[in-house]
Structure 1
């Protein structure tokens, strides 16, 4: 991710925070809490995460941790976020929970702890100068998990210069070049799709 790409992402989220405040899903670019929750529900279908370690790439406010808490009694969570304002809010909400850790940085360029599973919700949707960015990101995140990777991408977006949409079949074919255990979920949203990959 280039400095220019990062600058655009920082500017976008800071403008959303300035307009909406830093407490709701709008600061993260989500339409509403319900659309965020639907994506969490799909991501959580990757496996039974009881007694597993999970890395949340681009964790925002860390709300995926709260959702997983509603499903599991024991798991280890690591949230990675590069935007300080979002990370600070995540730490305020969940930083005191046992087995919950937040790390500052870009999950593409930083060295990350290896976990059983890596989940990424919305964090790969930004337009990048490098047209191969999404493929490099998928490959990097897949290397970072012992068992499986799950991520969602947009398949439709009104062009706005910031968010990118991807052809699901193109992404599926690429993921199958990395693993023979790949599944795609399309039935939860007209504008979104989710990929599950396993080692």
Structure 2
């Protein structure tokens, strides 16, 4: 993403700060967020794993993972300072939980067991290799697997900030990295999740 695209994304979120938290994050409502989170957990047991959440927002995924897994390390990264500051405050007493402000598109990322991107790869970019570059980076840093979701181009009307992708095309790319990559659909009409394992 270029500087103008990044500024557009920041403005998209900052314009919604002070409103409902879910709107600030870009979700339509609590149901759409929770169904995406539930889809992510179909990957399998993440107990005892180190997990990197790319585009962590306020850390809502951490709360959801706490209900399903135990003894895991959670690292959240987001390029919006306001999100990271709030998440750091909310989770100040949580062990094995850290938040970092950085642009994960360009930052050096740590090696982890599982890399997750929930909604953070949907931003429009003039770079035709996006999100393929990010999926490849996630695959490189993950010891055990990669989980991400994208908007389905067949059911999502592109806007100035977000865009949809062709599920079959995304799966085909992922199967070049992991021949057993799987597509998970049916939880929302305009969203799909990809599971990759090592």
- Is the pair's TM-score, using the shorter chain for normalization, greater than 0.5? yes
| Regions of 4+ moved over 4 Å | none
Is residue 117 from structure 1 mapped to residue 114 from structure 2 by the alignment?
A: yes
Report the structure, 1 or 2, having the larger helix content. 1
Cα distance in structure 2, aligned partners of 1:144 and 1:4: 28
Please give the residue correspondences for 1:1-199 in structure 2 after superposition, counting only pairs within 5 Å. Answer: 1-18=1-18, 20=19, 24-155=21-152, 156-199=155-198
Cα distance in structure 2, aligned partners of 1:95 and 1:62: 12
Instruction: Please list the CA deviations of residues 105-154 of structure 1 after superposition, one character each: whole Å capped at 9, or x if unmatched.
Output: 01121011111001110000000010211111111111111010000000
2 and 96 in structure 1: CA distance in 2 versus 1, 3 angstrom threshold: farther
Shift of 1:165: 0.3
Secondary structure, counterpart of 2:17 in structure 1:
helix
Contact 2:32/2:188 (<8 A) preserved? no
Contact 1:125/1:165 (<8 A) preserved? yes
Contact 2:147/2:193 (<8 A) preserved? yes
Cα distance in structure 2, aligned partners of 1:108 and 1:119: 14
Question: What stretches of structure 1 of length at least 5 have no aligned partner?
Answer: none
Pairs aligned (count): 196
TM-score by length of 1: 0.95
Question: What stretches of structure 2 of length at least 5 have no aligned partner?
Answer: none
Q: Alpha carbon RMSD of aligned pairs, Å? A: 1.1
Secondary structure, counterpart of 1:181 in structure 2:
coil
